[in-house]
Amino acid sequence: MLDIKFIRDNVDLVEDAIKNKNETVNLDLVLTLDKEKRKIQFEYDTLRSEQNKISQQIPKLKKKNKDVSKVIDNLKNYSSKVKILASKLAEVEEQLEKELLKIPNLPNSDVPIGQNESDNKFLRDWGDKRKFGFQPKKHLKICKEQKLLDIKRAAKISGSGFVGFQHKGAKLARALINFMLDYHIEKHNYKEISLPVIVNRKTMTGTGQLPKLADDMYHIEKDDLFLVPTSEVSVTNLYSGEILGLEDLPQKFISNSLCFRREAGSHGKETKGLQRVHQFSKVEMVKFVTPDTSYEVLDDLLNDAEDILQALELPYRIISLATGDLSFASAKTYDLEVWAPATERYLEVSSVSNFEDFQARRASIRYRDVNGNVQFVHTLNGSGLAIPRTFIAILETYQNEDGTITIPKVLRPYFNNEKIL
């Protein structure tokens, strides 16, 4: 959430951000509500001050045995007016809060300006794409031959867009999760955490999924609870409503969870196999830092995600997202896209983002700085990595002509074997 004073003082900048992020916000309404709120607040404070002065007269008059009936009547009159203004103030504050939640985060000044993903900026790539001496198979064909997935029965159980890992496919997915967790904990010094994947409305609002992305969320209507689209939601809200000490920062967590997405906006996109599913596992990195360090930490976060792909020896590229492709809450995002040779496409396996203080304001996550002043933390997160598309890249990159799959070296301790036969 943006600070209303910042919006008031930087209207043109905020309007540009809204436009560049392809959002639609009635900023005039926000400013009108803000002006109305301040007007009512002034009237309310003035009346409250007069009310207190009148109230203080009563014991003094009683002490002098003077009649206080007129003063009490006057006090009742002020109390009635104060009550009416308090109700108006609460109503306007609620309306203003509702509109403020619709305003996206400002893109960082060095984010490429563009309308969509075609305007994203290529930064660099890593690794040599494998050259095959045979026609490589796509992951779905490999999975069918090796019986690694059961899509048909998963759809019978839950519906289209759900998949089931089975046999050595389930083991490979589990090995990937364990490897990623172990690597981030041992090499990058993250603390592992496991939190609920069903959260309340306040939690979803804190990280920016609500109200913007309500249509893409799985909602348990009876209890007004939501299935998380990523463990970012649970972990970032760990400190909601709290004030941390300077000595508590930075904090870095790693968490594996199931993620649930309706993919309401996926019409026309590639949805075959594991490329876009409603439920999947993802290892997520989340950091809480001081504002002066957050962009240095963003680079560290990117490197941490890269280390996983390099350890798996999977070629990839890094893209800096343009304003029109940034998420609602992000100030800056890098995408890591792994190469899937048979699919002949780069597939996103991680987005690493700096949200600056946007999420912290919504969730009220603060810290005391060196001078003892209360400030908002900066929050960052990134996938380290998402399992399905990493799974695709491994199958397509490490397949052999005889139908076997060579297991990446770093995963072999989880298999005690060099190949999936």
Instruction: Identify which of 190, 409, 146, 414 has the alpha carbon closest to the alpha carbon of residue 288.
Output: 190
Concerning whether 261 is annotated as a catalytic residue, the answer is yes
Active site (annotated) includes residue 362: no
Structure tokens of 419?
A: 């190949």
* 23 flagged as catalytic: no
CA–CA distance, 124 with 336 (Å, rounded to integer): 10
Q: In terms of Cα–Cα distance, which of 182, 228, 194 is closest to 209? A: 228
- Of the listed 281, 351, 353, 383, which one is catalytic? 351
Residue whose pair of structure tokens reads 């496409």 in the numeric block: 345
Q: Choose the catalytic residue: 23, 43, 313, 348.
A: 348
Cα–Cα distance measured from residue 420 to residue 408, given in angstroms and rounded to the nearest whole number: 11
Measured between alpha carbons, how far is 279 from 302 in angstroms, rounded to an integer?
Answer: 24
* Burial annotation 244-272 (CB, 10 A radius, 16+ → b, else e): beeeebebbbbbbbebbbbeeeeeeeeee
Residue of 261, 361, 362, 366 with catalytic role: 261
252: β partners: 287
Catalytic residue among 174, 201, 276, 368: 276
Per DSSP bridges, beta strands 345-354 and 243-244 are unpaired
C-alpha to C-alpha distance for 76 and 144, rounded to whole angstroms: 79
Nearest to 334 by CA among 297, 365, 377, 280: 297
DSSP assignment of 294-309, as one string?
A: HHHHHHHHHHHHHHHH
67, 47 in Cβ contact below 8 A? no
Active site residue 174: no
* Residue 38 annotated as catalytic: no
The SS3 assignment for 396 reads helix
Give the amino acid at 22.
N
Catalytic positions? 261, 276, 348, 351, 389
